[in-house]
């Protein structure tokens, strides 16, 4: 009962998040009527990437820990599905549990080792751990090595995922639960202390709290959310390769967060929408304007990102809030 | 005999060839305001850091209520009764005044590691936070963001946060630094009001404030205690005059 009250109050304070979640829930109705099934596929990708970015945002935006290796956790989540299937474990719910557990343990170890450092050292250590995992999976020949491994759409009994919309709504529910979970904890005492640590770690110590305890907890939670996104990714793409863990993927997650609005709940989701739509449309636009350079759509994307960073404080989310007035 | 709130015994600390703390022993007893003075570079802040736990002494003991705390971390010492204000106001700049106090209140209650209920709308936390702010008289500024506060008010907030955990010992590192005459007067008033409630170790360059507030004064020069006693005894001490106050100058000027 109290949880419902907290959730209701939280959604009322985060209308932008509620609107986006509702938008994703209703989107297949539109694509169904307009007969644009391809867009469902894109929307699923947006939700998965948005979920991962939300996870990273807990440490990056709220906790001020610039982790440059979170794609590794997405990859571990996806490989948890592939490797489980390799050994004959087909149940999707168990995949999710394995992935959460693996990412939780890995997050604990990496967090414990790297969170003693700050600033550029922390960025480099998290990157190093991610690269280690990347090359580990490149070298694991039995799981496809560089070429990756194909994955059967997991069996989420009693939900039969062969109906494409079911996968869509499975991803949507995962995104919804992730959003609600984050919405609750960022407003809780834990979340407030995490932000206090970002603001001034030594004052938090002077209050008698141990910042490392809060930072590691945040790190583990964020790793597990990225792992969940990874399991969804595996079912969506039906394939996983080390590419998902490449450091540029970690960079993409950071770009998505900055684009949408760092340290806000809706920001990473908005960022994922914008990032993937630009990725979709800019090459087409380039094809019309300068066909020879269609592959180089990043030439446009770069300046857009710089403009957002320079002029739209708080990213797209901040822009929307200012346009909507106050809020 | 009741053990002093703070007791330092034979503290030494070197950075390479520089000995920042030389065989320092001193006591701060319950209810007193103990001023620590000395020229720039005398090692006052280094000493405070060793008491606070952010720096480990090379040798010597730090005791709190008679128990050795050398092995304790900063948060552990805070929970054992040390509050501190820093040379540069150390508060949560992006938070409001009330939010600062609410985080401190959650920490004081040992409730910081909770994940469900929203913190800033919690009535209990809010009431506790208001009481913390009322202690230094800035409860009316609760809704103001700290970044928008004047220097003096920020200093007061830091005082409030340092007091939030009901410390037995308050370490004040140059609380008057950068304050105007009006703010200094206000600060002296507040410290005066705390006399008897909490033992205070006060580092201060403003001699006027020191001699008005201190029950005892310890003088640190080049890391070593050269004199310790009542303000009267210190202002009359020839060694202090020679080493620190510069010959014939009147201490109380």
| pLDDT means over runs of 10, chain A (327 residues) | 92 95 96 91 97 98 96 97 95 96 98 94 97 97 94 83 86 97 97 97 96 98 98 95 96 96 96 95 87 82 88 88 74
Nearest partner of B103 among A197, A242, A86, A88, judged by Cα: A197
Task: Mark whether B155 and B233 lie in a shared domain.
Answer: no
Nearest Cβ partner for A189 among B86, B91, B111: B111
pLDDT digits (tens, 9 = 90+) for B19-54: 999 999 999 999 999 999 998 889 999 999 999 999
Quickly list H helices, A240-314: 247-260, 267-289, 298-311
Q: Is B65 a domain residue? A: yes
Cβ separation of A206 and B84 shorter than 8 Å?
Answer: yes
Choosing from B123, B145, B166, the residue where a domain stops is: B166
Q: Work out how many domains chain B is built from and give that number.
A: 2
Specify burial of residue A141 (Cβ count, 10 A radius: 0-12, 13-18, 19+): exposed
What is residue B199's three-state secondary structure?
strand
Model pLDDT, residue B21: 96
Task: Mark whether B19 and B142 lie in a shared domain.
Answer: no
Interchain CB contact of A202 with B (< 8 Å)? yes
Q: Chain B closest CA to A203's CA: distance in Å?
A: 6
Interchain CB contact of B123 with A (< 8 Å)? no
Model pLDDT, residue A327: 46
Interchain CB contact of A199 with B (< 8 Å)? yes
The pLDDT of residue B243 is above 50: yes
B94 alpha carbon, distance to own chain's centre:
23
Model pLDDT, residue A154: 79
Q: Is B185 a domain residue? A: no
CA–CA separation, B235 and B233 (whole Å): 6
Given a contact cutoff of 8 angstroms between Cβ atoms, the answer to whether B52 and B35 are in contact is: no
Closest residue, chain B, to A205 (C-alpha)? B75
Task: Mark whether B35 and B144 lie in a shared domain.
Answer: no
Given a contact cutoff of 8 angstroms between Cβ atoms, the answer to whether B155 and B187 are in contact is: yes
CA–CA separation, B97 and B99 (whole Å): 6
SS3 content of chain B, % helix, strand, coil (to 5): 35, 25, 40
- Residue A113, Ramachandran bin (φ over 0: left; ψ between -120 and 50: alpha; else beta): alpha
Q: Chain A closest CA to B104's CA: distance in Å?
A: 6
Q: Is B190 a domain residue? A: no
Q: Which of A1, A5, A180, A203 to mutate to test the interface with B (most CBs of B within 10 A)?
A: A203
Average pLDDT over residues B174-182: 87
Question: Given pLDDT bands bounded at 50, 70 and 90, which one contains residue B1?
Answer: low
Interchain CB contact of A289 with B (< 8 Å)? no
The pLDDT of residue B236 is above 50: yes
Nearest Cβ partner for A209 among B91, B112, B162: B112
Interchain CB contact of B91 with A (< 8 Å)? yes
Interchain CB contact of A200 with B (< 8 Å)? yes
Question: Given pLDDT bands bounded at 50, 70 and 90, which one contains residue B252?
Answer: very low
Q: Which of B52, B76, B92 to mutate to test the interface with A (most CBs of A within 10 A)?
A: B92
Which DSSP state fits A243?
Answer: G
Nearest partner of B82 among B11, B172, B174, B203, judged by Cα: B172
Task: Mark whether B74 and B174 lie in a shared domain.
Answer: yes
Task: Mark whether B141 and B236 lie in a shared domain.
Answer: no
Given a contact cutoff of 8 angstroms between Cβ atoms, the answer to whether A206 and B81 are in contact is: no
Cβ separation of B75 and A205 shorter than 8 Å?
Answer: yes
Model pLDDT, residue B2: 76
Domain-wise residue ranges, chain A = 2-246
Bridge partners (DSSP) of residue A189 are: none
pTM, rounded to two decimals: 0.94
Given a contact cutoff of 8 angstroms between Cβ atoms, the answer to whether A181 and A174 are in contact is: no
Quickly list H helices, chain B: 44-52, 74-79, 97-108, 123-134, 151-164, 181-194, 207-213, 231-235, 238-240
The pLDDT of residue B253 is above 50: no
Q: Any idea what the CATH number is for the domain that residue B28 is in? A: 3.40.50.300
Cβ separation of A200 and B107 shorter than 8 Å?
Answer: no
Task: Mark whether B116 and B213 lie in a shared domain.
Answer: no
Interchain CB contact of A204 with B (< 8 Å)? yes
Count the neighbouring beta carbons within 10 Å of the beta carbon of residue B159.
23
A197: which 2 tokens?
Answer: 């640590």
Model pLDDT, residue A207: 97
The pLDDT of residue B140 is above 50: yes
Given a contact cutoff of 8 angstroms between Cβ atoms, the answer to whether A129 and A110 are in contact is: yes
A208: which 2 tokens?
Answer: 């008698």
Task: Mark whether B172 and B229 lie in a shared domain.
Answer: yes
Cβ separation of A206 and B162 shorter than 8 Å?
Answer: yes
Q: Is B86 a domain residue? A: no
What is residue B116's three-state secondary structure?
coil
CA–CA separation, A273 and A259 (whole Å): 10
For residue B252, the enclosing domain spans 1-81+167-179+197-253
Choosing from B143, B166, B189, the residue where a domain stops is: B166
Cβ separation of A6 and B91 shorter than 8 Å?
Answer: no
Specify burial of residue A85 (Cβ count, 10 A radius: 0-12, 13-18, 19+): buried
Q: Is B188 a domain residue? A: no
Q: Is B155 a domain residue? A: yes
- Residue B38, Ramachandran bin (φ over 0: left; ψ between -120 and 50: alpha; else beta): left
ipTM of the complex: 0.92
Task: Mark whether B252 and B173 lie in a shared domain.
Answer: yes
Given a contact cutoff of 8 angstroms between Cβ atoms, the answer to whether A212 and A41 are in contact is: no
Nearest Cβ partner for B78 among A6, A190, A208: A208
Residues of A in contact with B92 (CB under 8 A): 196, 199-200, 203
Residue/partner pairs of B241-244 with CB below 8 Å, 24 or more apart: B243/B219, B244/B37, B244/B38, B244/B39, B244/B219
Task: Mark whether B76 and B171 lie in a shared domain.
Answer: yes
Task: Mark whether B39 and B118 lie in a shared domain.
Answer: no
């Amino acid at each position: 009962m109290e949880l419902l009250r907290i959730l209701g109050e939280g959604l009322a304070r985060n209308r932008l998040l509620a609107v986006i979640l509702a938008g994703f829930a209703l989107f297949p109705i539109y694509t169904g009527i307009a007969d644009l099934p391809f867009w469902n596929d894109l929307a699923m990708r947006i939700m998965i990437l948005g979920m991962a970015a939300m996870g990273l945002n807990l440490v990056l935006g709220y906790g001020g820990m610039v982790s440059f290796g979170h794609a590794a956790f997405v990859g571990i989540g996806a490989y948890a599905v592939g490797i489980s299937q390799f050994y004959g474990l087909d149940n999707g719910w168990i995949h999710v549990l394995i992935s959460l557990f693996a990412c939780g343990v890995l997050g604990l170890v990496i967090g414990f080792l790297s969170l003693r450092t700050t600033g550029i050292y922390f960025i480099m250590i998290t990157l190093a751990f991610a690269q280690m995992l990347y090359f580990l999976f490149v070298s694991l020949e039995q799981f496809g090595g560089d070429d990756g491994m194909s994955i059967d759409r997991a069996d989420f009994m009693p939900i039969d995922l062969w109906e494409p919309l079911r996968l869509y709504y499975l991803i949507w529910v995962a995104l919804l639960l992730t959003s609600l979970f984050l919405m609750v904890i960022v407003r809780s005492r834990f979340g407030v202390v995490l932000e206090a640590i970002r603001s001034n770690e030594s004052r938090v110590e002077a209050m008698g709290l141990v910042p490392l305890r809060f930072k590691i907890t945040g790190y583990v939670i964020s790793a597990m959310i990225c792992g969940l996104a990874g399991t969804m990714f595996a079912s969506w793409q039906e394939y996983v390769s080390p590419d998902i863990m490449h450091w540029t993927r970690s960079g993409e997650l950071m770009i998505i967060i900055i684009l949408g609005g760092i340290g806000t709940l809706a920001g990473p989701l908005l960022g994922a929408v914008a990032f993937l739509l630009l990725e979709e449309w800019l090459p087409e636009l380039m094809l019309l304007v300068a066909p020879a350079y269609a592959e180089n759509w990043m030439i446009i994307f770069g300046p857009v990102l710089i403009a957002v960073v320079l002029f739209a404080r708080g990213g797209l989310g901040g822009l929307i809030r200012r346009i909507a007035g106050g809020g | 005999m009741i053990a002093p709130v703070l007791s330092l015994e034979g503290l030494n600390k070197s950075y390479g060839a520089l000995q920042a703390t030389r065989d320092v022993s001193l006591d701060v007893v319950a209810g007193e305001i103990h001023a620590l003075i000395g020229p720039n570079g005398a090692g006052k802040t280094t000493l405070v850091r060793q008491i606070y736990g952010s720096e480990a002494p090379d040798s010597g003991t730090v005791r709190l209520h008679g128990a050795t705390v050398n092995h304790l971390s900063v948060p552990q010492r805070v929970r054992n009764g040390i509050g501190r204000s820093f040379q540069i106001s150390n508060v949560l700049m992006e938070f409001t005044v009330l939010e600062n106090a609410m985080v401190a209140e959650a920490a004081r209650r040992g409730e910081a590691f909770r994940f469900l209920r929203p913190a800033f709308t919690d009535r209990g936390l809010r009431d506790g936070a208001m009481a913390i702010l009322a202690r230094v008289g800035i409860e009316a500024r609760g809704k103001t963001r700290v970044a928008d506060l004047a220097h003096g008010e920020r200093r007061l907030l830091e005082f409030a946060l340092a007091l939030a955990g009901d410390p037995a010992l308050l370490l004040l590192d140059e609380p008057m630094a950068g304050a105007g005459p009006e703010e200094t007067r206000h600060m002296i008033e507040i410290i005066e009001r705390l006399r008897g409630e909490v033992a205070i170790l006060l580092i201060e360059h403003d001699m006027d404030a020191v001699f008005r507030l201190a029950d005892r004064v310890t003088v640190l020069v080049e890391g070593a205690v050269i004199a310790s006693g009542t303000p009267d005894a210190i202002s009359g001490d020839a060694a202090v005059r020679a080493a620190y106050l510069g010959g014939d100058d009147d201490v109380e000027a």
